[in-house]
Structure 1
Amino acid sequence: MTTEQKNFIEKIAAAVNKYKDGYNIKVASPIIAQAIIESGWGESQLAAKYNNYFGLKCGSAWTGKSVNMATSEEYTPGVHTNIRDNFRVFDSLEDGVKGYFEFINYSRYANLKGVTDPETYVKNIKADGYATSSTYVSTLINAIKSYNLTQYDNGGSGNATQPEKPAASAGKSVNELAQEVLAGKWGNGADRKNRLEAAGYSYSAVQAKVNQLVNGTPATPQKKSVEEVAREVIRGKWGNGADRKNRLTAAGYSYSAVQAKVNQLMK
């Protein structure tokens, strides 16, 4: 875990523990995991610019500020559909976390109240229709375990000693993992990245091997200019948030350079 990731967890955890008891929510770890996964460690545009760390859409009841953005849904397992939708906008990280609790205060999420087991919370919120990803439950549980997030469930500060995570669990080679990726075992996009890293593997190494197996040669150098790719991003071709970052990186582009150009073009 990097220093930036640790700081992100601490900030989200502090806000979660500030508000959760007021909504009769008893666990913090699943919510912190959701923030990690939904916002790509706070680096997605929706999180970094609009303080929406949980992918909260507007819905008919929302009367606050909003932004229309591209996103990907998995209505059918394994089939990703690109759409545009309106998302809630918040003024700060703390407002964004409070907004999450207001969102799950609807009656459809009543089964989250009073739950003390993180895994049960995750399964319930998935069953309630919060997310369409077919691997949402396993991805969140892996994040909870990998980053020792249960230490925050009782209002902890996160100073507990965390076990060192091996570079590669289960002893599988990069080639074996790449073959499993091609067989569909590790999901797609941001979900794939999160699951591989949660299991202790190097996403970049595995993805590079996947590209090599698919193409028969190492990934070819990028052909399009940063501005061309940025305009494709604006048209919705490259997805949103962490998914966009993963897809651009896997294709050999610099996410930071492309995103900077997107921000420049959108001004």
Structure 2
Amino acid sequence: MTRQIGLLFLLGIVLIGCKTKRTVSNNNNRENYASSSETVTVVKSKSTHEVGDSYTMPKDTGKFVRLAIESPQEYIEVFSEIAQLEMKAYGIPASITLAQGLLESGFGKGALALKTNNHFGIKCHTGWQGEYDFHDDDEKGECFRKYNHPMYSYRDHSIFLSGRSRYAFLFDLPNDDYKAWAKGLRKAGYATDRHYPQKLIGLIERYQLHKFDEAVATKGYGRSPQKNVVMASSPLVSTHTVKQGDTLYSISKRYSVSVDDLMRWNYMYDSHISVGQELTVKTQNFN
């Protein structure tokens, strides 16, 4: 009898453990952001000359983190804060970031998002040094970037838009004009779907995502009285195309930044670079 009770008790512990492992609450999702490794300073408009708050990236432990998100509303609750912080730092409307994340990732439940934590459908492109995986998209078996945590996908989305010349005109738009940004993304070639702007606008208005833009814009982040502050085309962020004979050290000297910063901004795990590779360079260190 005692042996039977002991076996039942042990079985109960195992079942509880399995249930706990399968179920990830929204609170636990949010706690994943608390582990710090990289502090990012956000900058207010040039008219105020004030430096705003700072926030931290989650520490990359090298382990793949999969968040359990069950609905669009929960997705918004989990990622709205990081979208606003990215808006403060880079000037991209939080509503646009959230709408793209919802659409491209299937609110975190799409096949690509589940296996890569890539919430924006960003492909590898020339020069990508990070992890990757293959997924059928416009063509079969295309290469997509892979991240250990979805938050790194959000940061890479900001760097991707702000570091490429074809998106530079977007940063001349008011950062609370989500309709103009949605149409501009399609014009710049972010997506081949001609209904892409309408899909983004529909998500923003259905879930009232524009309220996250308003909360940031009214505090003066990324704006000036005359013109929206342009994070991408201003001297803060630029792109260097690697030429024959370039090294990370020579590039760091040219822009007066450190090799470590160059590697961090471009998600590089070693110092190898290739001719034609585009590197994000921040000529004023606001991180």
Structure 2 residue corresponding to 1:148, chosen from 208, 211, 221: 208
Q: If each structure's helix is expressed as a fraction of its own residues, which one has the higher value? A: 1
Aligned counterpart for 1:67 among listed residues 118, 130, 133 = 133
Residue 136 of structure 1 is matched in structure 2 by 196
Q: For residues 15 and 49 of structure 1, what CA distance do their matches in structure 2 show?
A: 21
Secondary structure of the residue aligned to 1:104 is: helix
User: 1:24–1:114: 8 Å Cα contact kept in structure 2?
Assistant: no
Rg (Cα) greater in structure: 2
- Which consecutive segments of 4 or more residues in structure 1 shift more than 6 A? none
Q: Tell me if the contact between 2:186 and 2:194 (Cα under 8 Å) persists in the aligned partners.
A: no
What amino acid does structure 2 have at the position aligned with 1:104?
L
Shift, 1:103, TM fit: 1.0
Partner of 2:151: 94
- Structure-1 residue corresponding to 2:110: 44
- Could you tell me how far apart the structure 2 residues matched to 1:155 and 1:57 are? 31
| Structure 2: runs of 5 or more not aligned | 1-68, 217-287
Q: How many residues align?
A: 145
1:21 matched residue in structure 2: 88
Please tell me the root mean square deviation across aligned C-alpha atoms, in Å.
1.8
Larger mean CA deviation between 9-18 and 143-152 belongs to 9-18
Q: Verify the 8 A CA contact 2:96 2:204 in the aligned structure 1.
A: yes
Q: C-alpha displacement at 1:155, in angstroms?
A: 4.2
Amino acid at match of 1:119: K
**2:123 aligned residue (57, 61, 83):** 57
What secondary structure, in the 3-state scheme, does the structure 1 residue paired with 2:211 have? helix
Q: 2:140 aligns with which of 69, 79, 83?
A: 83
Contact 1:30–1:118, Cα closer than 8 Å, also in 2:
yes
Name the SS for the 2:199 alignment partner.
helix
TM-score normalised according to structure 1 size: 0.51
Separation (CA, whole Å) in 2 of partners of 1:121 and 1:28 = 11
Q: Does 1:111 align with 2:177?
A: no
What is the aligned partner in structure 1 of residue 29 from structure 2?
none
SS of the aligned residue for 2:71 comes to helix
After superposition, what is the alpha-carbon deviation per residue over 1:127-159, rounded to whole angstroms, capped at 9, x for unaligned? 111000121111111111111111111347xxx
